[in-house]
C-alpha cells in the first residue's frame, strides 16, 4: 500500500462537456496525483474524446456501453467491477450514472459513495426529478457545484422520499495559470470579437445567441462573432445562420480542442443559456480576460459582477445587442472591464481551492467511516 486513497470516478461520458473538463483538470492537479490512486469508469464508450488527455494520470480506464441495447449486461459488468475492485470511495458525476451507481452501494457497504450535481436538474424532464429523489439519499455525500444548485437542491428535497446526506456546496474552480490573462484591447482598427465555447445542446439556447448576432449586425459593423462547438444541435444552428444570411458574420469552426487559444481570440463571452450549474467555460473565459454578457440563471446568479460585464434576466436580443455595441464606444473602459473580470475569477474560483476542499471531504468521510467501525 502506498498510503493513497483508492477511488473510482464514474461518469456518463468523457468528451467536451463541463463536468468532463472539470474532471480532467482535477486529474491533472498535483493534489489528486499525490493523494489518490484513481480509476475512471465511463458509461458511454463512444463518447470519450478526453481520454488521451488523462492517460498516465489515472491507474485504469474502464468503458462500458450503458447507452446501447447491451445495457443490462454492461450495467451488471460495471457493478461487478466496482464490487471486485473494493474502492474506498466511488465518486459519481452526471445524472444517468448517478442513478445507476447508487444501487452499487448495496453491493459495497464498506465503500463511500459520493455524487456531484453539476447542473440545475429542476429544468430537466420530470423523470430526472423523481430519479434524483429516489437515489440521492443512497449516497454518503452529495456535492453541489455552486451555491444556486445547493439552495435549489435543499429546497426541493423536502418533497422527496429520501433526504440527501451530508450535502455541501463545493464551488467549481479553474486553472487560472492555464487560462492566463490577456488584456482585451479592441480598437478602431480591430473589430470587437463576441464568442462562445459550448456543446450545442438545447439548454444553451444557441438560437438566441444567433439572434443577438443578427441584432448587432443590423446596427454596427464593428463586431464579429465566433461560435465554437458541436453536438446535437449543430446542423440546426448552421441552417439558422444560413437562413439569416450571417455566414460572413458568424465564424463556426466546429469543436476546437484548444480552448486556451479560443478564448484568446475573443473579447466578449456571450452566453444565452436557459439554465446552468456554474459553467466552467464562463470562468475560463473571464480568467482569460473576456468580458461576460450572460443570462442570469443557475449558478451564474452567484457571480457578482462589480464594474464589469452584463447579466440579463429576460432575453431581449435588441437590448443585449445595444449593450455589446456600447463596448465599441469606449475601448478604454472595455479594457478596464477585461482586467476586472480576470481579477474576479483569480480571487474567487481557483482550481487549487477546489482540489483542497475535495480532498478534505474525502478525508472527513473516511475518518467518519473508521470511527463508526470503532463505535458501532
Q: What CATH number corresponds to the domain at position 78?
A: 3.40.50.2000
The whole-number pLDDT of residue 376 equals 59
Residue 21 placed within a domain: yes
| Region class of 290: left (phi > 0), else alpha (psi between -120 and 50), else beta | beta
**pTM value?**
0.85
The whole-number pLDDT of residue 162 equals 63
Please, what are the averages of pLDDT over each run of 10 residues along the chain (376 residues)? Answer: 88 90 95 97 91 96 93 95 97 91 93 90 66 84 88 75 78 92 84 95 94 98 94 91 96 89 96 92 96 94 94 97 96 95 94 95 94 71
Is residue 237 helix, strand or coil?
A: helix
Distances (CA, A) of 246 to 127, 208, 217, 226: 38, 14, 9, 12
User: Is residue 73 located within the same domain as residue 154?
Assistant: yes
Distances (CA, A) of 312 to 46, 198, 339: 37, 19, 21
Residue 184 placed within a domain: no
CB 139 within 8 A of CB 162: no
Residue 180 placed within a domain: no
Count of structural domains, the chain: 2
Residue 183 placed within a domain: no
Which residue in 170, 177, 180 sits closest to 355, CA to CA? 170
Residue 232 belongs to what domain range? 192-348
User: Is residue 82 located within the same domain as residue 222?
Assistant: no
User: Is residue 338 located within the same domain as residue 369?
Assistant: no
Angstrom distance (rounded) from CA 195 to CA 7: 37
The x, y and z cell numbers of residue 332, run together, are 478604454
User: Is residue 18 located within the same domain as residue 164?
Assistant: yes
Amino acid at each position: 500500500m502506498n498510503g493513497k486513497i483508492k477511488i473510482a470516478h464514474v461518469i456518463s461520458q468523457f468528451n467536451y462537456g463541463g463536468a468532463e473538463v472539470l474532471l480532467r483538470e482535477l486529474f491533472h492537479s498535483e493534489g489528486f496525483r499525490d493523494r489518490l490512486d484513481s480509476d475512471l469508469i465511463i458509461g458511454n464508450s463512444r463518447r470519450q474524446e478526453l481520454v488521451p488527455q488523462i492517460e498516465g494520470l489515472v491507474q485504469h480506464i474502464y468503458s462500458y456501453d450503458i447507452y446501447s441495447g447491451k445495457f443490462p449486461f454492461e450495467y451488471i459488468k460495471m457493478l461487478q467491477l466496482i464490487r471486485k475492485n473494493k474502492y474506498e470511495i466511488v465518486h459519481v458525476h452526471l445524472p444517468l450514472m448517478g442513478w445507476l451507481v447508487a444501487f452499487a452501494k448495496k453491493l459495497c457497504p464498506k465503500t463511500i459513495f459520493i455524487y456531484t450535481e453539476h447542473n440545475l436538474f429542476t429544468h430537466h424532464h420530470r423523470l430526472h426529478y423523481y430519479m434524483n429523489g429516489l437515489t440521492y439519499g443512497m449516497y454518503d455525500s452529495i456535492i453541489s457545484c455552486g451555491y444556486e444548485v445547493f439552495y435549489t437542491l435543499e429546497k426541493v428535497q423536502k418533497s422527496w422520499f429520501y433526504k440527501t446526506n451530508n450535502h455541501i456546496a463545493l464551488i467549481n474552480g479553474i486553472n487560472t495559470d492555464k487560462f492566463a490573462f490577456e488584456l482585451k484591447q479592441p480598437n478602431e482598427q480591430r473589430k470587437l470579437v463576441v464568442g462562445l465555447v459550448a456543446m450545442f445542446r438545447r439548454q444553451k439556447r444557441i438560437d438566441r445567441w444567433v439572434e443577438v448576432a443578427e441584432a448587432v449586425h443590423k446596427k454596427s459593423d464593428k463586431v464579429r462573432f465566433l461560435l465554437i462547438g458541436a453536438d446535437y444541435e449543430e446542423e440546426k444552428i448552421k441552417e439558422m445562420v444560413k437562413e439569416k444570411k450571417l455566414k460572413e458574420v458568424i465564424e463556426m469552426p466546429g469543436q476546437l480542442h484548444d480552448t486556451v487559444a479560443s478564448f484568446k481570440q475573443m473579447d466578449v463571452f456571450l452566453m444565452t443559456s436557459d439554465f446552468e450549474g456554474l459553467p466552467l467555460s464562463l470562468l475560463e473565459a473571464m480568467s482569460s480576460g473576456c468580458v461576460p454578457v450572460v443570462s442570469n440563471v443557475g449558478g451564474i446568479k452567484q457571480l457578482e459582477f462589480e464594474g464589469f460585464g452584463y447579466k440579463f434576466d429576460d432575453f431581449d436580443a435588441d437590448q443585449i445587442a445595444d449593450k455589446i455595441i456600447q463596448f465599441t464606444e469606449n475601448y478604454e473602459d472595455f479594457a478596464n472591464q477585461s482586467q476586472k473580470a480576470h481579477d474576479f475569477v483569480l480571487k474567487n474560483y481557483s482550481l487549487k481551492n477546489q482540489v483542497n476542499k475535495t480532498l478534505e471531504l474525502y478525508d472527513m468521510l473516511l475518518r467518519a467511516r473508521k470511527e463508526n467501525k470503532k463505535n458501532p
